[in-house]
Structure 1
């Protein structure tokens, strides 16, 4: 799950912000996958409009030894990231499933940001 609208959808200057990244999932059992980025809920910056939060699922041909930095729920420094570059690096084919939702800043966002150690 990533947010490609950083800092906002009209002027994405950085890269995507990965909210959740799980790999090496055996079958459909997410709980047995390897978490590279722990889940962080949606938290668009104030006055940045609607952000898209995109879920993509890629089929892995085999278990892969990923050499990515792992990010805990308190790690707010997850840049740079690009799901396209990640998929290319590990030779993933096209996504087999995807979905998204949109969210914008609300009063819960400051509480979400308090967890980060940047």
Structure 2
């Protein structure tokens, strides 16, 4: 049975009208980069509606919240009352096989 873990690819909060330029970057974007021989990777991008401002100066926000490997988006959404995602996108990617 294959093991999997979540990986945080990027996180922005406090955006106005879905404009990423107005938001605050909590975790910078990391592009999808599967390594050779590890098969398909599944990627899920989620958009949440944020009802309240998240204080980005609060030190507790950064207490191990943004470890990329093993990040819990459901835990983050629960901690900040984000509810369920309002939109998601899903794709798979793998390292290109060599053609000799």
TM-score range, shorter chain: 0.7 to 0.9
Structure 1 residue runs of 4 or more that deviate by more than 3 Å after TM superposition: none
Aligned residue in 1 for 2:23:
33
Structure 2 unpaired stretches of 5+: none
Give the TM-score, by structure 2 length: 0.78
Q: How does 1:33-72 map to 2 (within 5 A)?
A: 33-66=23-56, 67-68=61-62
Deviation at 1:48, TM superposition (A): 1.6
Over alpha carbons, which structure has the higher Rg? 2
Question: How many residues are treated as equivalent by the alignment?
Answer: 92
Of structures 1 and 2, the one with the larger relative CO (CA 8 A, separation 6+) is: 2
Give the TM-score, by structure 1 length: 0.68
Aligned residue in 1 for 2:2:
10
Structure 1 unpaired stretches of 5+: 1-8, 72-76, 108-118
Compute the RMSD of aligned alpha carbons.
2.3
